[in-house]
Amino acid sequence: MIRVGCCGFPVAMQKYLKTFRVVEVQKTFYRPPDPETAERWRMLAGDDFEFTVKAFQVITHPPSSPTYRKARLDIDDGGFFKPVKAVFDAWEKTREIAEILRSGIVVFQTPKSFAETEENKRNMREFFSSIERDFTFCWEPRGWNDDGIREICQKLDLIHVVDPFAGRSLHGDLKYFRLHGFNYRHRYSDEELEWLVREVEKFERCYVMFNNVHMFDDAQRFAKLLKLL
């Protein structure tokens, strides 16, 4: 099973729904939508459409992050999986929307400032041992070494999320790729997409989620190479 889609809706939702069968919801990262909004999305998408959900930034990113200001969040303490009320409240909001959308996958993306320290590892262990395991949890680290990523993913049963052009998946039978386009403005060449086809066809279950400026066009081109469109 290979699923191809985008991180967020780069075009009108109705147009997107007619093109792809999966999307990674980005709104849940900045500020989760109202439950009524999520219910409307679920109804519009139809039963055979899949939503994956990016976890609320209060779980993963500190209040100093510019994305807090963008979302107009007024939270003094949070991020880095800290064992504080704001983080667990953020998980409850993420979980609520994921359940309404009938999502099977929740993606946790940590910033480069989330360094490979014992404190951060301890926070991750406490967080993931304290919440419900009703979803497949995927984690996209930045700046960690391979051994550290592999150790945490194995201990906490996390799928390692990676850009296949930047590295390889280090843990999990399910593969979840997020393609950032090298510098986000990159448009993938035919040769790069053909290479990607050869890579993903090695796996039984694989999500390929484009997250560059040209994501809608690139994802369509890639899906056509796979004969999914």
CA–centroid distance for 42 within its chain: 18
Mean pLDDT by 10 residues, the chain (229 residues): 97 97 97 97 97 98 92 91 97 98 98 97 98 95 97 98 97 97 94 98 96 98 96
Report CA Rg, the chain: 17
DSSP element (H, E) containing 215: helix 215-225
Residue 4, pLDDT score: 98
| CATH number of the domain encompassing residue 81 | 3.20.20.410
User: Do the beta carbons of residue 59 and residue 81 sit within 8 Å?
Assistant: yes
DSSP element (H, E) containing 57: helix 57-60
**Sign of the torsion angle spanned by Cα atoms 93, 96, 100, 105:** positive
Residue 130, pLDDT score: 96
User: Over the range 27-60, which residues count as b (16 or more CB within 10 Å of their CB) and which as e?
Assistant: bbbbbbbeeeebeebbeebeeebbbbbbbbbbbb
Q: How many structural domains are present in the chain?
A: 1
- pTM of the full predicted structure? 0.96
Residue 229, pLDDT score: 87
Question: By residue range, what is the domain housing residue 181?
Answer: 2-225
Cα separation, 120 vs 80, in Å, equals 7
Residue 206 three-state SS: strand
